[in-house]
Amino acid sequence: MRKIKKIAATDMDGTIIFELDTISEENKKQLLKFQKKSNNSLTIVTGRNYFLADFAARELNINLPVICSNGASVIDPQTLKYIAKKHFKKEEIKELLEKFLDTGIEINVPNDFRTHFIQNEDWFDYLMENKVNLDFSHFPDQKVICNYESIEELIEKGLDLDESFPGLVANIKNDKQLEYVRAVVNEYDLLALEFPKEDNCRIEIYKKGVTKSWGLNKLLDKFNLSKEDIHLFGDEHNDYPMFEQFPNCYAVGNAIDGIKELSKEVIDTVQNAGVGKKLNEIVEEFQ
């Protein structure tokens, strides 16, 4: 294992990506320049499951473990093996899914190397629209997209395909459904991230203690590094834990105000390749 002096870890959406699954040419140019000068000291820390982050890991020549699924998974992009994970077991995810039977709440269970979702889930359209970037031909099992008619069918046919599950997602359409999901989260003492939209709300549910910081600490343990040895970049609500717990955090110029207030420095925007530009300013720290 090569000696790592320091690590840079960047969020994806809103931090190095600003339009669907595309890293702009300037962003890519700046990040690859840093990779070359720093002996590949860059990685990704994202709320996405690995199968939605893999294209970026490959485009940016990332060799270090990737922190994904909001920190629940730390994965070696070379071997596609877990370095660390904080997942639900099959029995736990089955019990949770059963709580949503006959509720009308749309549920999907995205995993790191495949996704399980109900057929009427509009997320399928998102995957299909971006299939050019999402190449799964190198995955251990190329059956990545698994869709079902109902939660019952997902429980019966889908759960035996995977050993564990980072979390599940509930798509909420009204206040009654929102209250129900919050009650389930409280009953099982879980962690929920809420992402409100105009006419609905996406709620990501994880085991308690799952944050990007959990995954980052596992990464640091692997390389025997301290919190001062990692530089982090982010923009949104799920970046709060790492911005609160790590000293070297940078907010892109388009970040929410709370992230900017916690940052060591506010850098240029995602549209202007802020992360890559900043990393090349401080690249000597990684050499």
Check residue 3 and give its pLDDT.
Answer: 79
Reported as a single tens digit per residue, the pLDDT across 94-132 is 999 999 999 999 999 989 998 898 865 566 666 666 655
Burial 116-142 (b: 16+ CB within 10 A, else e): bbbeebebbeebeeeeeebebeebeee
Per-residue pLDDT, averaged over 68-79, amounts to 97
Phi, psi of 59 (to 5 degrees): -65, -30
Residue 154 makes CB contacts below 8 A (sequence gap 6+) with 97, 107, 109, 116, 117, 118, 148
Check residue 248 and give its pLDDT.
Answer: 98
Check residue 22 and give its pLDDT.
Answer: 85
Q: What percent of the chain has pLDDT over 90?
A: 79
Question: Does residue 133 surpass a pLDDT of 70?
Answer: no
Per-residue pLDDT, averaged over 173-191, amounts to 96
Domains of the chain: which residue ranges?
7-86+210-286, 88-206
Reported as a single tens digit per residue, the pLDDT across 255-268 is 999 999 999 999 99
Check residue 131 and give its pLDDT.
Answer: 58
Quickly state the pLDDT bin for 10 (edges 50, 70, 90): very high
Tokens standing for 266?
A: 């506010």
More confident residue, 280 or 125: 280
Quickly state the pLDDT bin for 141 (edges 50, 70, 90): confident
Reported as a single tens digit per residue, the pLDDT across 11-44 is 999 999 998 778 989 999 999 999 999 999 999 9
Q: What percent of the chain has pLDDT over 70?
A: 94
Architecture category of domain 88-206 in CATH: 2-Layer Sandwich (3.30)
Reported as a single tens digit per residue, the pLDDT across 205-217 is 999 999 999 999 9
Per-residue pLDDT, averaged over 76-82, amounts to 95
CATH of domain 7-86+210-286: 3.40.50.1000
Reported as a single tens digit per residue, the pLDDT across 217-272 is 999 999 999 999 999 999 999 999 999 999 999 999 999 999 999 999 999 999 99
Q: Which residue's entry shows tokens 């490959």?
A: 58
The mean pLDDT of the chain is: 92
